[in-house]
Structure 1
Amino acid sequence: MNGEFIPAERGVISVRSHGFSYGTGCFEGIRGYWNEQEQQVYLFRLREHYERLLRSCKILRIELPYSVEDLIEISLELVRRNEQKGDVYLRPVAYKGDEVIGVRLNNLTDHFILTSEPMGNYVDLGGMRCGVSSWRRIDDNAIPARAKITGSYVNAAFAKTEALQNGFDEAIMLTHDGHVSEGSAENIFLIINGELVTPSPSENILLGITRDTVIQLAERELGIKTRERSIDRTELYIADEIFLCGTGAQIAPVVSVDHNPVGKGETGPISKQLQDLYFDVVRGKHDFYRDQWCAAAYSKVAQMK
């Protein structure tokens, strides 16, 4: 927290802080995966997550005294200090820390905190039942969706709560133009005629790290290209397969939308292939992607000790 490693119980902020009162902060969610055979925690795509965090900071006029390289090393050190030997979830948060009243972004003090804790699956990976939400996705000209702004997740909370209370597992949100945007906190992919289709960045989506991972894996490993375009609501009802993805959700197949079965109403073959491939990659079991995307928390010297 602000340059110091401290016990979790000391990692608190004032109830009068600007970030708490007005949601003037941004964050990332980063997963680390335990490889039992290698006795190693691999933090997945750290660099890309911190590059996005700094872009979010720029939108919120937050200046951190850290480079991407600094943030990577701090993250690895935190996992080592916690002696974590299992799947973990890191949450870096940059926020306005002043205890003042008044809505603005300028002339405020910027704070930073990073936590690391055990975490398993965030959603059901065996097949999710989704409903199209009555809540619209926030617009870039209101609260930019390309930034992970803490206050903006109230939008997601409205949609997720409505979905749960209506008997669904997750919400699918539309833009104000009625096009498919994303889940409450996940990007979405449809499989139509053997091709991956996903909303374009202009549909008020978060430019997801997992989304980018899926696009690259699908093309490189399965020979399937992705089409980024506007998607109408009714395409959700005729798609061969659908899955949601994100750092928290990972790759979660969707088996129904608004009580309409997706395909045969079960996890489809392409979704299953991508899901299996993804979990091999994030646990460092694929040599090429381990070198490209996985940061090892424990050195061989540390493991020997």
Structure 2
Amino acid sequence: MATPHPQVFFGDRLVPAAAATVGVASSAVLYGLSVYTVFPVHRSAGTRTAFRLADHFRRLEESCKIIGIDRFAQEWDYARFEATVRELIGANEPQDEVFVRASVHVVESLPGTRVRGTAITVSMFVYDAVPIVPQDGMRLKASPWRRIPDNAIPSRAKVNGAYVNSVLAKQDAIDSGYDDCVFLDGNGHVCELSAANIFLVRGGTLITPDVSCDILDGINRRTVLTLAAEDGIPVLERTVDLTELYIADEVFVTGTSAGAAPVLEVDGRIVGDGRPGPISQALRKRHHAALRTDDAHGWLTRLD
């Protein structure tokens, strides 16, 4: 289990991690009314870089807009965000790969169930880049808990309170002896994992649920789709049935905290020949390089 590095950005300055707290009567605590993003910072040849930092800031903006947290756009722009990330990394000086979690918390005290015009606090902290799923092959279980639909709590907004849905589903999978879950929607179609997007390969074609399938429009998902297109791999974004995972040649998942990790079993069915497949291995290698050294796409922001 990872712990925050010593210095945390909270409000408008760096503070010790133990001092970065929100009130028990705030909307962030009472209703889970915070939104967040997580991005990796890597160290290569003495240089620290953040991956797709502008896209992560845009995700915070979009999550706030969807939920109605209007103060963030009034108080923050990308320049301030990037400068704060630089300050945070400089204060902690991580020597290995880390994740940074940036959140917008609604801290108004006892406001009732409303959001517009309420006070916010932004936090950012650094923690060790510990993957949330096995990197050498995982076992998945279709969850009895259904994915929250877009017309309830939109999955494209990373809302803290919505992750109760993910906790229920992943804990069921762990209790059943699996590594993670496969979320299905109300019609039984595949959505994603508890905190990662999912891909399958059939007949050389890369397939993934489209963005109307109650999924997070993941930044790493978009990265893999770009890399696959560059490699000439046919791509389909569409509705996916659970049984397609059973007969897929390959299955893998993506996410900041998941990486690009292979799936070897779904609901007791072995995927392919039980080993990571060639397409998932090739895209995993490309993804690994893109995160760290390959800046042909302008995805890396130097922080020092």
Q: TM-score, normalised by structure 2?
A: 0.93
> 2:76 — aligned with what?
66
Give the partner amino acid of 1:54.
E
Please point out which of 294, 297, 300 is paired with 2:303: 297
Please point out which of 4, 7, 27 is paired with 1:18: 27
> 1:303 — aligned with what?
none
Give the partner amino acid of 2:266.
V
SS of equivalent to 1:30: strand
Which aligned pairs between 1:179-190 and structure 2 lie closer than 5 A? 179-190=189-200
> 1:48 — aligned with what?
55
Deviation per residue, 1:190-244 (Å, 9 max, x gap):
1011011000111100000000000001111x21132110011110111100001
| CA shift in 2, pair 1:295/1:14, >3 Å | same
Please point out which of 277, 285, 289 is paired with 1:268: 277
Identity of aligned residues (%): 37
> 1:127 — aligned with what?
137
SS of equivalent to 2:296: helix
Kindly state the Cα deviation for residue 116 of structure 1 after the two structures are TM-superposed.
1.4
> 1:32 — aligned with what?
41
Kindly state the Cα deviation for residue 120 of structure 1 after the two structures are TM-superposed.
2.8
> 1:302 — aligned with what?
none
> 2:184 — aligned with what?
174
Deviation per residue, 1:23-61 (Å, 9 max, x gap):
1110001111222xx112221111101101100011122
Give the partner amino acid of 1:288.
A
Separation in 1 of the partners of 2:31 and 2:138? Answer: 33
Separation in 2 of the partners of 1:287 and 1:102? Answer: 46
Separation in 2 of the partners of 1:158 and 1:121? Answer: 20
> 1:199 — aligned with what?
209
Which aligned pairs between 1:80-229 and structure 2 lie closer than 5 A? 80-100=90-110, 102-220=112-230, 222-229=231-238
Q: Given that residues 22 and 28 in structure 2 are in contact (C-alpha distance below 8 angstroms), is that contact kept between their aligned partners in structure 1?
A: no
Deviation per residue, 1:151-174 (Å, 9 max, x gap):
000000011000001111010010
Q: Given that residues 39 and 85 in structure 1 are in contact (C-alpha distance below 8 angstroms), is that contact kept between their aligned partners in structure 2?
A: no
Within the alignment, does 1:288 sit opposite 2:285 as a pair? no
Runs of 4+ in 1 over 4 A off after TM superposition: none
Aligned residues: 292
Q: Given that residues 139 and 266 in structure 2 are in contact (C-alpha distance below 8 angstroms), is that contact kept between their aligned partners in structure 1?
A: yes
Kindly state the Cα deviation for residue 101 of structure 1 after the two structures are TM-superposed.
5.5
Q: Given that residues 41 and 85 in structure 1 are in contact (C-alpha distance below 8 angstroms), is that contact kept between their aligned partners in structure 2?
A: no
Q: Structure 1: 5+ residue runs without aligned partners? A: 299-305
SS of equivalent to 2:265: strand
Kindly state the Cα deviation for residue 119 of structure 1 after the two structures are TM-superposed.
2.1
Give the partner amino acid of 1:184.
S
Separation in 1 of the partners of 2:82 and 2:270? Answer: 42
Is the deviation greater in 51-60 or in 113-122?
A: 113-122
Give the partner amino acid of 2:58.
E
Give the partner amino acid of 1:254.
V
SS of equivalent to 1:5: strand
SS of equivalent to 1:132: strand
Give the partner amino acid of 1:294.
L
Deviation per residue, 1:163-188 (Å, 9 max, x gap):
00111101001010111000011000
Separation in 2 of the partners of 1:121 and 1:33? Answer: 14
Separation in 1 of the partners of 2:165 and 2:125? Answer: 24
Q: Given that residues 196 and 226 in structure 1 are in contact (C-alpha distance below 8 angstroms), is that contact kept between their aligned partners in structure 2?
A: yes
Q: Given that residues 25 and 60 in structure 1 are in contact (C-alpha distance below 8 angstroms), is that contact kept between their aligned partners in structure 2?
A: no
SS of equivalent to 1:185: coil
Q: Given that residues 132 and 173 in structure 1 are in contact (C-alpha distance below 8 angstroms), is that contact kept between their aligned partners in structure 2?
A: yes
Is the deviation greater in 236-245 or in 80-89?
A: 80-89
Deviation per residue, 1:121-154 (Å, 9 max, x gap):
2221100100111110000110011100000000
SS of equivalent to 2:113: coil
Kindly state the Cα deviation for residue 108 of structure 1 after the two structures are TM-superposed.
1.9
Give the partner amino acid of 1:270.
I
Give the partner amino acid of 2:186.
H
Quote the RMSD (CA, aligned, Å): 1.2
